[in-house]
């Protein structure tokens, strides 16, 4: 294996680790825990049903499109680079998924994501009370 091939495999691993895995895990979280959290926020009166429907669908579609594109790029890299390419992709995705696992768990990261998505569309006082009660 020459140096150029080694660099290519390192780049593939880094793309899977730092770009693809977090984006895919974030998308999974948007369909799972972040959606459930937003529904709970509607029930608590922190955001309105209309804001939830509009924003959630947009966020889910953007995440889905980005995830599919990134996975297509990774599959193309794997097909082009053979067995070692696939191993680099799988290793990068596995470690990246482990690093980004908080995005699919109900933690304070869920609250932070909610605040980023629903900027200026939620009742800050009610959200702070909810966070104080539950976290």
- Report pLDDT digits (tens) over 8-20: 999 999 999 999 9
- Region 41-54: what's the mean pLDDT? 93
pLDDT of the residue at 21: 94
Q: What is the mean pLDDT of residues 57-69?
A: 92
pLDDT at 57 over 80: yes
Indicate if the pLDDT at residue 1 is higher than 90: no
pLDDT averaged over every residue in the chain: 91
Q: What is the pLDDT of residues 77-123, one digit of tens each?
A: 999 999 999 999 999 999 999 998 877 787 888 888 899 999 889 99
What CA–CA distance (Å, rounded) separates 119 from 115?
6
Q: What is the residue extent of each domain of the chain?
A: 3-124
Which residue from 40, 92, 41, 87 is spatially nearest to 70, judged by alpha carbons? 92
How distant, in Å, are the alpha carbons of 22, 39, 71, 117 from that of 31?
A: 14, 12, 18, 14
Instruction: Return the pLDDT at 67.
Output: 94
pLDDT confidence of residue 76 = 94
Give the torsion sign (CA, 78, 81, 84, 85): negative
pLDDT at 108: 81
Euclidean distance between CA atoms 118 and 52, whole angstroms: 9
- Is 13 buried (19+), middle (13-18) or exposed (0-12) by CB count in 10 A? buried
């Amino acid at each position: 294996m020459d140096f150029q091939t080694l660099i290519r495999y390192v780049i593939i691993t880094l793309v899977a680790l730092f770009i693809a895995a977090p984006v895919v895990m974030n998308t999974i979280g948007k369909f799972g825990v972040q959606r459930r959290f937003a529904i709970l926020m509607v029930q608590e009166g922190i955001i309105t049903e209309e804001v939830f429907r509009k924003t959630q669908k947009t966020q889910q579609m953007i995440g889905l499109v980005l995830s599919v594109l990134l996975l297509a790029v990774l599959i193309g890299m794997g097909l082009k680079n053979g067995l070692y390419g696939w191993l680099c992709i799988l290793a990068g995705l596995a470690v990246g998924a482990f690093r980004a696992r908080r995005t699919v768990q109900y933690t304070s990261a869920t609250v932070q994501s909610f605040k980023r998505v629903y900027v200026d569309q939620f009742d800050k006082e009610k959200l702070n009370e909810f966070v104080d009660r539950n976290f």
